[in-house]
């Protein structure tokens, strides 16, 4: 077993950059006033200025017209809940139809299902074998009763990057609000809101080497979304509660530290890992497209090898990965994402997701290829699966 863990679960969370921690520290111990105390004393004004600067940095990275369009939240889950439920509340009694895809994140799927229990009609769009949304079905599903379409920018499990501009164009042609969860693409895949007509965009810090517990919902000016959390006038009277200033500062610092060069490096590791695994291991199947794929995502199903066993063996070898859907792996159910893509139960259960970051190395990738090949060979040797085919 290696002394150093090889962490390849960066789609779940990432290591916080030391520079991000350094930027946050003064707001715990020195500049700790509440930002909404700006009208009361100088320490509050100083902290408010830091919060405003962080908001401006993130707004610029999104291509937002105004910093005030970025509303800080506790992260992806809250932002997605607010986007769907806030729009449903705003249109209650006027429109009652929501459209999402079958492979959205759990926070979107669960929010949609909760709204169904309240009487909202939900359409779940199909995806093809690579995870791309059916645009014809989307176009046909929009009605005069539709208040929101929510389609993720990219899928965290299989890496599929949707044609978000084409989707937004179809939605806006019908005058309907559009939300996209860009948590896994923000700073990694181009998204310029000066050009892409999304009304609501979810982003989060902990997937780009920022802190946990801070994210944002971009709300384009004029979007009729209801207030999500009551208990104060913070965040332009859109979300009550004391602002997480250290988190916002850390989020902005993480954004500042991203670069196209880093994304290219991560994509090169991804390709090295895909090529190595596919070359070394027969009966391996890449899930999701080879192109239009998140730079750090590799999801492969290994025939005749159960994913949970593969994961456990790799963990004992000091390699951290996940099987199936990361949020679903404690269940005996197969990945809902892979099933929606038409995969068999066997392939869904035999899938392993490796997700890379800028802290991974080519040497680590090569070790993971060797370890996975060894594990799969061992498991297949003792597995009753596929004996007939052998």
The residues that are catalytic are 327
As a whole number of angstroms, the distance between CA 23 and CA 254 comes to: 10
For residues 1-23, one letter each, b for 16 or more C-beta atoms within 10 angstroms of the residue's C-beta and e for the rest, the string is eeeeebbbbbbeebebbeebeeb
Tell me the two tokens of residue 19. Answer: 């520079």
- Report how far apart the first and last C-alpha atoms of the chain are (Å, whole number): 31
Rounded Cα gap, residues 186 and 64, in angstroms: 13
Measured between alpha carbons, how far is 84 from 177 in angstroms, rounded to an integer? 11
Classify 274 as helix, strand or coil: helix
Residue corresponding to tokens 């910093």? 67
Tell me the C-alpha to C-alpha distance, in Å, between residue 332 and each of 91, 140, 329.
Answer: 38, 35, 7
253 with 20: CB under 8 angstroms? Answer: yes
- Tokens linked to 51: 């919060």
Helix axis angle for 42-62 and 245-256, nearest 10°, is 40
DSSP assignment string, 304-373: TS-HHHHHHHHHHTTEE-EES-TTTTTSSSPPHHHHHTT--HHHHHTEEEEE--TT--HHHHHHHHHHHH
């Amino acid at each position: 077993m290696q002394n150093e863990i090889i962490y390849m679960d960066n789609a779940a969370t990432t290591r916080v950059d030391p520079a991000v921690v350094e930027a946050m520290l003064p707001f715990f111990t020195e500049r700790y006033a509440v930002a909404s105390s700006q009208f009361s004393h100088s320490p509050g004004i100083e902290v408010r200025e830091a919060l405003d600067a962080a908001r401006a940095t993130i707004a610029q990275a999104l291509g937002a017209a105004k910093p005030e369009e970025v509303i800080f939240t506790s992260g992806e889950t809250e932002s997605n809940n607010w986007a769907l439920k806030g729009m449903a509340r705003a249109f209650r009694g006027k429109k009652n139809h929501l459209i999402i895809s079958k492979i959205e994140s759990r926070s979107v799927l669960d929010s949609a299902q909760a709204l169904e229990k309240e009487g909202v009609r939900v359409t779940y769009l199909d995806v093809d074998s690579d995870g791309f949304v059916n645009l014809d079905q989307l176009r046909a599903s929009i009605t005069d009763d539709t208040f929101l379409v929510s389609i993720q920018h990219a899928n965290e499990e299989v890496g599929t990057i949707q044609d978000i501009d084409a989707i937004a164009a179809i939605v806006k042609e019908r005058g309907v609000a559009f939300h996209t969860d860009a948590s896994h693409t923000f700073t990694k895949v181009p998204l310029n809101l000066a050009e892409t007509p999304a009304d609501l965009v979810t982003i989060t810090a902990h997937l780009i080497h920022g802190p946990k517990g801070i994210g944002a919902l971009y709300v384009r000016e004029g979007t009729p979304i209801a207030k999500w959390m009551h208990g104060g006038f913070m965040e332009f009277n859109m979300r009550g509660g004391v602002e997480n200033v250290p988190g916002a500062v850390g989020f902005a610092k993480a954004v500042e530290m991203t670069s196209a060069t880093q994304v290219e490096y991560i994509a090169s590791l991804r390709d090295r890992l895909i090529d190595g695994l596919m070359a070394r291991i027969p009966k391996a199947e890449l899930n999701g497209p080879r192109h239009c794929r998140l730079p750090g995502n590799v999801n492969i199903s290994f025939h005749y090898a159960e994913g949970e066993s593969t994961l456990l063996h790799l963990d004992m070898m000091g390699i951290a990965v996940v099987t199936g859907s990361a949020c679903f792996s404690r269940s005996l159910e197969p990945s809902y994402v892979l099933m929606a893509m038409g995969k068999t139960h066997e392939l869904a259960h035999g899938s392993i997701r490796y997700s890379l970051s800028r802290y991974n190395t080519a040497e680590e990738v090569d070790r993971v290829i060797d370890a996975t090949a060894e594990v799969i060979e061992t498991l297949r040797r003792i597995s009753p699966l596929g004996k007939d085919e052998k």
